[in-house]
C-alpha cells in the first residue's frame, strides 16, 4: 500500500510569489489535513479536507488556501509569499470512518522563501 | 480545543534509563488522543491512538495511558535506547479538528 506522497520535497521561492504544494493520500483515505512546522514550533494546523469539502480551518491568513479533488488528492496554495512562510509543510491522511483512526504523514515539503 | 501542552520540552537520558512524558489536553469535546514519534529527516509515525478513559496501550518498551476526565496522557519508555532519540508528539482530536502539542525532544546517550 503506497504511503502519503507529497510533492515537491523542496522548494525555493522569492517573496511575493505564490506556491502550490500537492498531497496524495493513502488509497481509500478521504481526509487530508495540512500542517505547518517552523523551528521551535509544533505542528500548526492549517486545514482539513474531507470528500472535497474543507471541514476545518486553523488560524492562518487568507493567503493560505487549499482544495481537494474527487480522487482525494489535495493541494495547498500560498499566495504573496512572506519570509515567515518558510517552513516544513506536512500533510496527513486518515480514514475517519475507522474507530481509533490515526494519521499517516507524508515526508513533507520544505519551503524556503528568500 | 484550545491547547495541547507537552512537558518536558526536552529530555536527556542515559541508555537504560526509563522515562516518561506528559501531554495535557482540554477534556471537553474530546474524541481521541494520539502519540507520534518523529525522527529527524523522517515523517511522524503513529505510536498509539486512545479514546477511552483509562485506556492503556503498549508497543514493545513504549506504553501510554489516558485520563480523559482530567485531560492528560503519559507516555513511558522503559530502558531507553539510542534509537529512541526522537521528538514525541501528542495530539488531541475533537470536533473534527486535531491539535498537536509542541513535542518532547528525547536524547538518549549511549
Q: Hey, which of A48-57, B20-29, B66-75 has the most confident mean pLDDT?
A: B66-75
Residues on chain A touching B64 (C-beta within 8 angstroms): none
Residue pLDDT, tens place only, A30-79 = 999 999 998 877 789 999 999 999 988 999 999 999 999 999 999 999 99
Mean pLDDT of chain A: 92
Tell me how long chain A is: 114
Environment class of residue B51 by beta-carbon count within 10 Å: exposed (0-12), middle (13-18) or buried (19+)? Answer: middle
Q: Hey, which of A45-59, A97-111, B64-78 has the most confident mean pLDDT?
A: B64-78
CB contact under 8 A, A103 and B46: yes
Q: State whether residue A60 sits within 8 Å of chain B by CB.
A: no
Residues on chain B touching A41 (C-beta within 8 angstroms): 102
DSSP A72: S
Q: Give the pLDDT of residue B27.
A: 84
CB contact under 8 A, A100 and B101: no
Cα-Cα end-to-end distance for chain A = 37
**Reported confidence tier of residue A97, pLDDT bands at 50, 70, 90:** low
- Looking at CA atoms only, how far is residue A19 from chain B in angstroms? 22
How many angstroms separate the CA atoms of A67 and A88, rounded? 19
Q: Give the pLDDT of residue B87.
A: 95
**Mean pLDDT (whole number) for B2-13:** 91
User: What does DSSP say about strands B97-100 and B45-50: parallel, antiparallel, or unpaired?
Assistant: unpaired
* Three-class secondary structure of residue A22 per DSSP: strand
CA-based nearest residue to B11, from B88, B90, B68: B88
**Reported confidence tier of residue A1, pLDDT bands at 50, 70, 90:** low
Whether the CB-CB separation of A34 and B98 falls below 8 Å is answered with no
Q: Give the pLDDT of residue A98.
A: 62
Q: Give the pLDDT of residue B1.
A: 46
Amino acid at each position: 500500500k503506497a504511503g502519503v506522497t507529497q510533492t515537491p520535497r523542496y522548494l525555493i521561492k522569492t517573496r511575493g510569489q505564490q506556491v502550490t504544494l500537492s498531497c496524495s493520500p493513502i488509497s481509500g483515505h478521504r481526509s487530508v489535513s495540512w500542517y505547518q512546522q517552523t523551528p521551535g514550533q509544533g505542528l500548526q494546523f492549517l486545514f482539513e479536507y474531507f470528500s472535497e469539502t474543507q471541514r476545518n480551518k486553523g488560524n492562518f491568513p487568507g493567503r493560505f488556501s487549499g482544495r481537494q479533488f474527487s480522487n482525494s488528492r489535495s493541494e495547498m496554495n500560498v499566495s504573496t509569499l512572506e519570509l515567515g512562510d518558510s517552513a516544513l509543510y506536512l500533510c496527513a491522511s486518515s480514514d475517519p470512518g475507522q474507530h481509533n483512526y490515526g494519521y499517516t504523514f507524508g515526508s513533507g515539503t520544505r519551503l524556503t522563501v528568500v | 480545543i484550545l491547547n495541547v501542552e507537552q512537558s518536558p520540552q526536552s529530555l536527556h537520558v542515559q541508555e537504560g534509563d526509563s522515562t516518561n512524558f506528559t501531554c495535557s489536553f482540554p477534556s471537553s469535546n474530546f474524541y481521541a488522543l494520539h502519540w507520534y514519534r518523529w525522527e529527524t529527516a523522517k515523517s511522524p509515525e503513529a505510536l498509539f491512538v486512545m479514546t477511552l478513559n483509562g485506556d492503556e496501550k503498549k508497543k514493545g518498551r513504549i506504553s501510554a495511558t489516558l485520563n480523559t476526565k482530567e485531560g492528560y496522557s503519559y507516555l513511558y519508555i522503559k530502558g531507553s535506547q539510542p534509537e529512541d532519540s526522537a521528538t514525541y508528539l501528542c495530539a488531541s482530536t475533537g470536533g473534527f479538528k486535531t491539535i498537536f502539542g509542541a513535542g518532547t525532544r528525547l536524547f538518549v546517550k549511549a
